[in-house]
Structure 1
Amino acid sequence: MSREIIAILRGIKPDEALAITDALVNAGITKIEVPLNSPDPYDSIERMINHAGDRALIGAGTVLDVNAVKRLARIGAQMVVSPDANPDVISATKAQGMLSFPGVLTPTEAFSALRSGADGLKFFPAFKLGLDGYKALSAVLPADTKTYAVGGVGPADFADWRKAGITGFGLGSNIYKPGYSAGKIAALAADVVAAYDEATL
C-alpha cells in the first residue's frame, strides 16, 4: 500500500542520503522530501533518485522560486513542496511534469493553489490551524482534494486528523533530525507507519 506519509529530511547531507532512503522505503515510507535549505540538497536529491527513484517519490521542500523548480526537473525530481502557495512555482512545477504540494493555511490560499494546478495542499503549520479549523476549511474544498497536515502533528495525532478527513501527513522531527543514524530512523519510521496503518483501518 502507498501510505500518504511524506518524510521531511531537513538538514540531511549527501553522504547519508542513500542509507536513510533505504531505511524509510524498507519501513514503508515512499514519499521523501529534502528541503532546499539543507546542505547540498540537489546533490542529495539526485543521489536518492538514482538509487531509489523506482521505489519512492523523491523531491524537494522549501521550494520558493521557478529557477529551483527548473533545476529540480533537470535532476529528475518527482515532487515540489513549498511553504507557501506561489502560483508561479505551482505552474512551473506542473509544466515540468512534477507533483505540486504548496503550503496553505487559509481558504484564499487553498483555492488559489488549486486553481494554479496543485496536486495536494500542505496545511502548515497544522497545529495552528487545529482540527476544528481544518474541518471548517475542508468542508468547502472539492471532495477529491488531497490534504496533508504538516507542522506539530505526530503519530499520536494521526487518528484524530484522519477522522477529520485529512489525506496524509508530512513529518520532520518525528522521523529525522541531523545526526540520527539510519538505524534510529528505521525504528522511528516503523513506529510512524504502525500508527498510520492503525489510524487508517
Structure 2
Amino acid sequence: MFQQALAANGLVAILRGLRPDEAAAVGHELYRVGIRIIEVPLNSPQPLDSIGILRNALPDDCLIGAGTVLSPLQVEQVSAAGGQLIVMPHCDRQVLAAAKAAGLFLIPGVATPSEAFAALAEGADALKLFPAEQIGPAAIKAWRAVLPTGTALLPVGGITPDNMASYLQAGASGFGLGSALYSLGLDAAEVGRRAQAFIQARNAFQG
C-alpha cells in the first residue's frame, strides 16, 4: 500500500500545526487534488485527534501518519489513533523497531549514508533526507550510486515547486512538503492550490 500511495506523485503532505477542527477539510482538499500520503507532526495541537479524523474522513488509498515521532510510546499512540505511517526526524533504532513491530510503514530521517543503510536494515520503507538544504542534489546523486536500487529517497526541508527539478534530476523519488504547502492560518482551498502547484511541478519534470 505504501508504494502505491507514494507512486501517485511522490509527495507527502506535512501538516505541522494542523488543528482537529480543520483536519477533515484540509484532508479532503489534499485528497481531491491528488495527495495520497498525509503526515501530522506530533508537535501539532492534539495531533492524535487530527490523525483519527483524517483516517475516518479519507478513502483507504490515502495513508495517514504522524511526523516528529521520537519514542516507542509515541509509535503506540499513533497506531491506536489509526495512524499507518511513522515519520521521524532521526534514525533511532528503538523507534524504528517499534514502528515495524506495530506493522506500520516507516520513513526515518537520515543525513548520512551510514544512517541510510542502518535505517534500511531496520525495514524502512523510504528515507527522509533531512534537512534537504544540507544534503542537496549532489549528495543525493552520490547516495544513489551506493544505495540499493529502488530505495525511495524523499528530501524534506525547504522544498518548493521551483527547486524540485534539481532534486528529481539527481535521483529523488519524491518530497515531504512542509511550510510551503501548509502553515497555520491557511484555509483548505489555499492548501489545495499549493498542492496543485507542487503536483504540476512534479508532473512537468516527468513529462
Give the TM-score range, shorter chain: over 0.9
Task: Please say if 1:19 is aligned against 2:25.
Answer: yes
Q: CA deviation at 1:92?
A: 1.1
Equivalent residue of 1:155, what SS?
coil
Distance 1:79 1:43 in 2: 15
Amino acid of the structure 2 residue aligned with 1:3: N
Are 1:159 and 1:200, in contact at CA under 8 Å, matched by a contact in 2? no
Q: CA deviation at 1:34?
A: 0.2
Amino acid of the structure 1 residue aligned with 2:189: G
Distance 2:8 2:31 in 1: 11
Report % sequence identity. Answer: 44
Amino acid of the structure 1 residue aligned with 2:159: V
Q: CA deviation at 1:103?
A: 0.3
Q: Which runs of 5+ in 1 are unaligned?
A: none
1:114-141 residue CA offsets vs partner (Å, 9 max, x unmatched): 1111111000001111111121122111
1:32 paired residue number: 38
Q: CA deviation at 1:88?
A: 1.2
1:168-199 residue CA offsets vs partner (Å, 9 max, x unmatched): 00011111000001111111111111111111
Distance 1:76 1:125 in 2: 28
Amino acid of the structure 2 residue aligned with 1:42: L
TM-score by length of structure 2 reads 0.94
Once the two structures are superposed, the pairs formed by residues 34-53 of structure 1 within 5 Å of their partners are 34-53=40-59
Q: Which runs of 5+ in 2 are unaligned?
A: 1-6
Aligned counterpart in structure 1 of residue 79 of structure 2, from 67, 73, 92: 73
Are 2:13 and 2:39, in contact at CA under 8 Å, matched by a contact in 1? yes
2:154 paired residue number: 148
Equivalent residue of 1:153, what SS?
coil
Are 2:24 and 2:54, in contact at CA under 8 Å, matched by a contact in 1? yes
RMSD: 1.1
Distance 1:77 1:200 in 2: 30
Equivalent residue of 2:162, what SS?
helix
Equivalent residue of 2:185, what SS?
coil
Q: CA deviation at 1:53?
A: 4.6
Once the two structures are superposed, the pairs formed by residues 1-201 of structure 1 within 5 Å of their partners are 2-201=8-207
Amino acid of the structure 1 residue aligned with 2:101: A
Distance 1:154 1:184 in 2: 15
Amino acid of the structure 1 residue aligned with 2:34: G
2:4 paired residue number: none
Amino acid of the structure 2 residue aligned with 1:17: A
Distance 2:100 2:59 in 1: 19
TM-score by length of structure 1 reads 0.97
Q: Flag as ranges the 4+ runs of structure 1 deviating above 4 A.
A: none
Are 1:25 and 1:55, in contact at CA under 8 Å, matched by a contact in 2? no
